[in-house]
Amino acid sequence: MTKEERIEQTEKALVHTYVRFPRIFERGQGVRLYDTEGKEYLDFASGIGVMGLGYGNEKLNEVLKNQVTLLTHVSNLFYTVPCAEAAEKVLKNSGMDRVFFTNSGAEAVEGALKAARKYYYTKTGEAGGEIIAMEESFHGRTMGALSVTGKEAYRKPFEPLIGGVHFAKYNDLDSVKALVNEKTCAIILETVQGEGGIFPAEKDFLKGIRELCDEKDILLILDEIQCGMGRTGDMFAWQTLGVRPDIMTVAKALGCGVPVGAFLMTENVAQKSLAPGDHGTTYGGNPFVTSAVAAVQDIYEEEGILDHVKEITPVLTETLDKIKDKFDFITAHRGLGLIRGLEFASSPSSVVSAAHEEGLIVISAGHNVIRFLPPLIITKEDVKEMEEKLTRALASYTS
């Protein structure tokens, strides 16, 4: 079957919720992807931040192969060793107290929202806790996660969504304070806005929200689905910024290719929110996915991933600064650690496509940003190669 026939086969079979690029990837190794025609690509998207360890990590592969031969699933009515080990390691590295494993990031957000509303119900004896979210945010496509996603175009076709959600301006503390009332139960935000255009939270903004939450007994929910798991040089971006949440969501690189997410909380929230019967999942936390979670935590430590991110971040930062300064149609460069964006005067879709032709995988964020989410194992040589390929692709830009 030809490439074109395979693409047509896919388009006939799947619901058209994605506009896919005309590439059929077959395998990956390290920071490289290979398509069915044998072409090699340098991957600076890592499956939208999923493949933190790159492709084909031997230690992770061996753990997964072994677990497949032992046990892939039992229900959450029983205990398993991988789940216990994964929970212990994730809590140790996050500084949180309790964890609930989910199948995805969107499900993690759903659980976090339920926990916050149950906390309010336990505290007041009444339903109706309200949530403050951020404009331009993205938390997922399920109904609850969509309700706190700050882009009207995403929400409008699916309304009515869950009620009691109000939107403040990101990095504007006064706009948050203006929305707080006696029913506010939680404030949710991405520690680094990803889909919205790669905007890190300012330290003073995050600290101000933490102080506001402490004063009013409001829960701070930080979405670390894209910016967490080592991407900023600490395991989670809030650790880089020094502000601990009450509830945190994580997914993507939590399993480095295995579909798993989680929401974590403090003991205070755990004691006053979800109780038996309040929440559940069939597949979440099964022995196969949690064996991956436990292995990823170990590999990060054994291979010094966090230290490596700290070492390579200045190299990528300086390189993207240089690219920005070279082209006047690139209007900004921002980010934190290895989650970065170049902002263009208009849509950079032609550059993204041209980069793919050059053998470089990058993706967009928002309507005018190219997003850089490389595997955390990239080297100086990889950054140099990215610069060369991207510079050639930038010749295709048309405003």
Q: Where are the domains of the chain?
A: 59-302
DSSP state letter for 217:
T
Average pLDDT of the segment spanning 82-111: 98
Question: What DSSP state is assigned to residue 14?
Answer: S
What are 316-367's pLDDT values in tens digits?
A: 999 999 999 999 999 999 999 999 999 999 999 999 999 999 999 999 999 9
Q: 59-302 sits in which CATH class?
A: alpha beta
Phi, psi of 330 (to 5 degrees): -95, 115
Q: What is the mean pLDDT of residues 137-163?
A: 97
pLDDT digits (tens, 9 = 90+) for 25-68: 999 999 999 999 999 999 999 999 999 999 999 999 999 999 99
Is residue 282's pLDDT more than 70?
A: yes
Query: Taking the CA of residue 252 as centre, how many other CA atoms within 13 Å lie in the half-sphere pointing to its CB?
Result: 30
Q: Residue 383: which residues within 8 A CB-CB, separation 6 or more?
A: 312, 315, 316, 319
pTM for the full predicted model: 0.97
Evaluate whether 263 touches 248 at the Cβ level (below 8 Å).
yes
What pLDDT shows up at residue 242? 96
Closest CA relative to residue 117, chosen from 221, 207, 261, 249: 221
The residue assigned the tokens 């499900």 is 107
Mean pLDDT of the chain: 97
**What is the C-alpha separation between 113 and 358, in angstroms, rounded?**
42
Q: In 3D, which of 336, 332, 313, 314 has the Cα closest to residue 323? A: 332
Q: Average of pLDDT values for 162-175?
A: 98
Q: What pLDDT sits at residue 259?
A: 98
Pair 191, 133: CB distance under 8 Å: no
pLDDT given for residue 1 in this prediction? 87
Does residue 388 register a pLDDT over 70?
Answer: yes
- Read off the pLDDT of residues 114-134 as tens digits, 9 standing for 90 and up: 999 999 999 999 999 999 999
265 with 247: CB under 8 angstroms? yes
Whether residue 399 is predicted with pLDDT greater than 70 in this model: the reply is no
Instruction: Please report the pLDDT score of residue 191 as a whole number.
Output: 98
DSSP designation for 201:
P
CB atoms within 10 A of CB 155: 17
Mean pLDDT of 245-259: 98
- What are the tokens at 226? 């894209």
